[in-house]
Structure 1
Amino acid sequence: MRPGARKVARVVLLDPDDRILLLHGFEPSDPSSTWWFTPGGGLEEGETREQAALRELAEETGITDVRLGPVLWRRSCSFPFDGRRWDQDEWYYLARTDQTRTETAGQTELERRSVTGLRWWTSEELSAARETVYPTRLAELLRTLLDEGPPGSPVVLATEVV
């Protein structure tokens, strides 16, 4: 982890049909710049990554009936967003839910300005997508997860700098 990087917990949320939930985001100053990403966000003071993962998931999606599993992947990334550069140390947790209805009332002001919706994706749909998805290898990572199960220890993904 780079010194000073924001600690982030993300959730790879799967429903009973092994679909993954992604949010559709955009750059507030350029709504034509869009991408899909997993729920999650930065840790608050005194919060563990597991607590942050569950809180962020509830705020962003309204989903609270979740079985949080192991850390699947870790990633360092750096990207411009909303007028600043974000340097993040992200941990991706596996989670399962039977609750597929989403509710976005808990989103922050920034999320309301930069998220257009949510969608459940099958592995096949994600593999065929031509839109930007973060992390960039998510389709391949999801297929491996579904075929082989969670890794014995977290896989460290290549650093992504946008």
Structure 2
Amino acid sequence: MLPVRPDGKVLLLHGWDPLKPHVPYWFTIGGGVEAGESIADAACRELREEVGIVLPADALGTPVASNTIEFEWGGARMIQQQTFFAVAVDTVDVTFANQEELELQTISAHGWWWGDDLEATGQAAHVTIPGLLRQAADAITLRRAS
């Protein structure tokens, strides 16, 4: 999920691999699809659980991007198929109250980012994230203009 404010900044989470807490990074909101869930339903559930934003699945529209990435987390090799939805938000009260225990242990903060600024830090969890932020901001700008 890529929540986008009117200024084009996108909400990300700050955290780390539980085996590498000394190497923090910024990453997108999301998670796995549970049995019987659509991708949109899963995206809305993850948005609610991870940051407390409640949206119905029909508010998401079409995905702005999808990809497959490979990475290591918690000592396991992951291959993750990802689908990204951009959603316009105005004011948001982010809360971690609904996070699972492992999330509470490995997520320290949230922040609002422009893709170029995140890219300049070198702290994106994956090289694709700054571009995703730009795509999300562009998609929301186009939706607001039409």
TM-score, normalised by the number of residues in structure 2: 0.82
Overall identity of the aligned pairs, in %: 34
> 1:110 maps to which residue?
102
Range with greater deviation from structure 2 (52-61 or 118-127): 118-127
**How is 1:1-162 mapped onto 2 (pairs within 5 angstroms)?**
11-65=1-55, 67-131=59-123, 133-147=124-138, 149=139
- Structure 1: which 5+ runs fail to align? 1-10, 151-162
Matched to 2:128, the amino acid is: R
CA deviation profile, 1:47-97 (whole Å, cap 9, x unmatched): 000000000001000111574232111111122111322221111111112
Matched to 1:62, the amino acid is: G
C-alpha contact 2:5 2:89 (8 A) present in aligned 1: yes
Distance 1:47 1:85 in 2: 24
In angstroms, what is the RMSD of aligned CA positions? 2.0
Distance 2:55 2:35 in 1: 24
Distance 1:145 1:31 in 2: 29
Aligned-partner SS, 1:101: coil
TM-score, normalised by the number of residues in structure 1: 0.75
C-alpha contact 1:62 1:105 (8 A) present in aligned 2: yes
CA deviation profile, 1:13-63 (whole Å, cap 9, x unmatched): 101222100001101122112211110000111000000000000100011
Aligned-partner SS, 1:102: coil
Structure with more strand by fraction: 1
- Structure 2: which 5+ runs fail to align? 141-146
Matched to 1:137, the amino acid is: T
Matched to 2:74, the amino acid is: D
